[in-house]
Amino acid sequence: MDLLTHINPLYVLSGLAVGVLVGLTGVGGGSLMTPLLVLLFGIHPTTAVGTDLLYASGTKTVGTAVHGFKGTVQWGIVWRLAAGSVPAAALTLWVLAGQEAKHATAVNGVITTALAWALVATAIAMLFRKTIVAFVTRRIGALSPRVTTVLTIVLGAILGALVSLTSVGAGALGMTVLLILYPKTDTARLVGSDIAHAVPLTLIAGIGHWMMGSVDWRLLVSLLCGSIPGIVIGSLLAVRMPDRVLRPILAGTLALVALKMMT
């Protein structure tokens, strides 16, 4: 009850806005929420990342339930991604915890820089996804099942480290590579698999940040109060809003935020 008495309307509105965008586009939760907390509300970067990870875990659990009910989760892909992401997330958090105790200012700078570049990469992936997928697919051709499995695990490891450090990357970046690795798999199944994989990854990374003391529970509750109805609203509006309009707007916003964080 104590948490509910400290709900901040501004955080609720932020969660609502980001939730609507996630519902409309399927990506952008961590990409928008973490820099929003850092730049607009002055939240410490480590706390913003840790809180956003648990926020993402909660919201994407709902998305996973929906995709699981619809049968659009390829669990084999999820397990391969997790085989790389879970150990990588644990290792990243271990290194981060050790450095945080000794060099807090340096860690803060690393997280801010990594977050800015992750936002740039996410914006590029969102804007040029089809071009990137087509270009790489033409160059590498068809991959054997064994190579695909290995590369999926490697992708999971990269996402595990990136998400644990910045809370960004599991959406647009992960989906772009999955489209390259699994060109014959239905896109809806890849989206469902990507969302399902994000749940354990963000939960583990979020718990790690919590143990390091970098989760603000009052902030988390306020964000969830806005994001849950926001995702519902965004999902209902998604059929009326053309993707070709939404993605450039979101990608441009991410690029501007990244530039702001770099200066």
The pLDDT confidence band at residue 8, using thresholds 50, 70 and 90, is: confident
pLDDT of residue 153: 96
**Averaged pLDDT, 62-71:** 78
Q: What is the pLDDT of residues 199-257, one digit of tens each?
A: 889 899 999 989 888 889 989 999 988 888 887 777 666 555 566 666 676 677 677 66
Write down the domain spans for the chain: 4-262
If you average pLDDT over every residue of the chain, what do you get?
81
pTM (two decimals):
0.80
pLDDT of residue 241: 57
**Does the pLDDT of residue 5 top 70, yes or no?**
no
Q: Which of 33-47, 102-116, 208-222 has the highest mean pLDDT?
A: 208-222
Q: How far apart are CA 183 and CA 133, in angstroms?
A: 9
What the block records as the tokens of 71 is 């049968």
Higher pLDDT, 237 or 153: 153
Alpha-carbon dihedral 230, 234, 237, 238, rounded to 10 degrees: -170
**Does the pLDDT of residue 156 top 90, yes or no?**
yes
pLDDT of residue 75: 92
pLDDT of residue 170: 67
Please state, in angstroms and as integers, the Cα–Cα distance from residue 66 to each residue in 12, 72, 181, 188, 235, following that order.
Answer: 23, 9, 24, 12, 11
Spatial neighbors of 184 by CB under 8 A, at least 6 apart, are none
